[in-house]
């Protein structure tokens, strides 16, 4: 381990070095903590047709390549601004463990059968054991375009003369 020169403020310098490297001091020793990153950080706005099933996805990364602690995470969804689950948005898998410096893809499936046309905002909530950012929110914004309804027209009687 790199030793800082002994000088006034040594303890502060060592602490700042630990912070810069992503280490948290425990009982005088530095241990690496998992650090979460998510890509993309938002999805949309996108326009989706009515009565389809669509799959988008996010990739969850453990940015820490120095320590032994894996990143554990869970994902859920809520309608933006509420605590209400969205039954037609599903994730697979819904939880996982990622080794340091590795990543995992999460499929986000939108089952739009029976969902009315309009604008929607859903928050994908990823909770993890990252001590700095234990919760990451990925906004998902989309518009469901409903088809133009079929209309029937009645013109009344049609009279024609034949010669």
Burial of 156: CB neighbours in 10 Å, binned 0-12, 13-18, 19+:
exposed
Indicate if the pLDDT at residue 2 is higher than 80: no
Helices (H), 4-111: 10-21
Q: Say if pTM beats, i.e. exceeds, 0.75.
A: no
Alpha-carbon gap, residue 6 to 44, rounded angstroms: 52
| Residue 130 confidence (pLDDT) above 80 | yes
Cα separation of 70 and 123, whole Å?
A: 25
Q: Choose which CATH entry (3.90.1150.10, 3.30.70.920, 2.60.40.10, 3.50.50.60) describes domain 34-145.
A: 2.60.40.10
Segments of the chain assigned to CATH 2.60.40.10: 34-145
Residue of higher predicted confidence among 81 and 12: 81
- Cα–Cα distance for residue pair 149/162, rounded to 1 Å: 37
Question: In this predicted model, which residue has the larger pLDDT, 151 or 21?
Answer: 151
């Amino acid at each position: 381990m790199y030793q800082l020169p002994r000088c006034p403020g040594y303890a502060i310098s060592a602490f700042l070095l630990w912070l810069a490297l992503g280490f948290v001091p425990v009982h005088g020793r530095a241990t690496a903590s998992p650090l979460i990153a998510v890509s993309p950080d938002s999805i949309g706005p996108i326009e989706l047709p009515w009565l389809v099933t669509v799959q988008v996805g996010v990739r969850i990364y453990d940015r820490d390549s120095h320590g032994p602690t894996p990143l554990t995470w869970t994902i859920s969804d809520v309608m933006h601004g509420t605590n209400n689950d969205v039954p037609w948005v599903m994730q697979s898998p819904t939880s996982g463990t990622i080794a340091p410096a590795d990543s995992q893809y999460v499929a986000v499936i939108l089952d739009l059968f029976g969902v009315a046309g309009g604008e929607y905002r859903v928050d994908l909530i990823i909770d993890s054991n990252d001590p700095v950012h234990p919760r990451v929110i990925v906004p998902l914004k989309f518009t469901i375009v409903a088809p133009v309804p079929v209309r029937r027209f009645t013109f009344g009687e049609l009279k024609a003369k034949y010669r």
